[in-house]
């Protein structure tokens, strides 16, 4: 059966070079190996905003056309027809497994995809918020397949790691983010990386309009608005 078109584009910033690996060297190295052609699969898990989606997209960006990124948070409503035909890809990255857990049609579709990938020597990388045995999957055969995957937990960054990630993200956008400004953001914004990145994007726009640098007084004024 022909594959349903996936109207998806990888985020430009989601590459391995823009990911601060502090504390997560082992899972990042494993995914880099898969992108480079290692005959391996993986199950990546961790709390919200620890970088699961970033890393799956980075893997696809590095692996190129043989790979495909499947964000179930976006595609869940489309049903398992969205993944038909993907077994011919070399690497299938399935993000946010939790979003379809308990859906019998999706679980059967993923089970079939897993088996078909194995038959064609394909690899699969899955992400979820919990370890394989703790995701609320009802289909025992799918649980069994997921348990066979090497599992890697992503740890949330500490304060120094978050500062480093903010400074790196700013640098990639052509901005200079002083250390004191980054630490100010850490104390005046939600501390998860998704929220911090969103705040940095807002500050980037404001600095461009005002032709200002990202000093603490300027950032303070923007956040108060």
Residues 100, 58 share a domain = yes
Say whether pLDDT at 184 is over 90.
Answer: yes
Residues 127, 40 share a domain = yes
Residue that finishes a domain, picked among 98, 123, 153: 153
For residues 58 and 32, the answer to whether their CB atoms sit within 8 Å is: no
Distance CA 22, CA 213 (A): 28
Predicted pLDDT of residue 10: 63
Q: Residues 98-125: what's their mean pLDDT?
A: 97
Predicted pLDDT of residue 212: 93
Residue that finishes a domain, picked among 107, 134, 153: 153
Residues 203, 143 share a domain = no
Q: Which residues constitute the domain of residue 216?
A: 159-224
Predicted pLDDT of residue 11: 66
Tens digit of each residue's pLDDT (9 = 90 or more) over 123-157? 999 999 999 999 999 999 999 999 999 999 999 99
Copy the structure tokens of residue 174. Answer: 């052509």
Q: Is residue 6 part of a domain?
A: no
Predicted pLDDT of residue 93: 97
Q: What single string gives the DSSP state of each residue in 97-164?
A: GGGGTT-HHHHHHHHHHHHHHHHTT-EEEEEESS-GGGS----HHHHHHHHTS-EEEPPPP-HHHHHH
CATH number of residue 131's parent domain? 3.40.50.300
Q: Is residue 9 part of a domain?
A: no
Say whether pLDDT at 158 is over 60.
Answer: yes
Residue that finishes a domain, picked among 153, 179, 213: 153
Q: Is residue 130 part of a domain?
A: yes
Neighbours of 173 (CB within 10 A): 12
Residues 6+ apart with CB under 8 A from 196: 162, 165, 166, 185, 186, 189, 190
Residue among 120, 174, 126, 165 nearest 148 (CA): 126
Q: Is residue 206 part of a domain?
A: yes
Predicted pLDDT of residue 77: 93
Q: Is residue 75 part of a domain?
A: yes
Tens digit of each residue's pLDDT (9 = 90 or more) over 31-86? 999 999 999 999 999 999 899 999 999 999 999 999 999 999 999 999 999 999 99
Q: Is residue 35 part of a domain?
A: yes
Percent of the chain with pLDDT over 90: 78
Residues 129, 176 share a domain = no
pTM: 0.87
Predicted pLDDT of residue 12: 58
**DSSP 3-state of 42:** strand
Say whether pLDDT at 1 is over 50.
Answer: no
Copy the structure tokens of residue 29. Answer: 């190295």
């Amino acid at each position: 059966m022909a594959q349903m078109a996936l109207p998806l584009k990888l985020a430009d910033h989601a590459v391995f070079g823009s990911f601060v690996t502090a504390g997560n060297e082992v899972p990042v190295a494993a995914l880099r190996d898969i992108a480079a052609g290692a005959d391996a699969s993986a199950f990546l898990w961790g709390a919200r905003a620890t970088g699961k989606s970033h890393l799956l997209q980075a893997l696809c960006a590095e692996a190129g056309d043989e790979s495909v990124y499947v964000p179930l948070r976006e595609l869940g409503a489309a049903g398992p027809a969205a993944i038909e035909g993907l077994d011919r890809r070399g690497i299938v990255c399935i993000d946010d497994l939790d979003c379809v857990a308990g859906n019998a049609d999706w679980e059967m579709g993923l089970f079939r995809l897993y088996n078909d990938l194995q038959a064609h020597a394909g690899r699969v990388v899955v992400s979820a918020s919990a370890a394989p045995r703790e995701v609320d999957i009802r289909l025992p055969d799918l649980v069994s397949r997921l348990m066979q995957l090497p599992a890697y937990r992503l740890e949330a960054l500490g304060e120094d790691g978050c500062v480093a990630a903010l400074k790196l993200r700013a640098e990639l956008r052509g901005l200079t983010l002083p250390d004191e400004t980054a630490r100010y953001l850490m104390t005046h914004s939600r501390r998860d990386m998704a929220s911090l990145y969103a705040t940095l994007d807002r500050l980037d726009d404001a600095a461009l309009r005002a032709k200002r640098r990202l000093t603490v007084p300027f950032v303070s004024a923007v956040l108060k608005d």
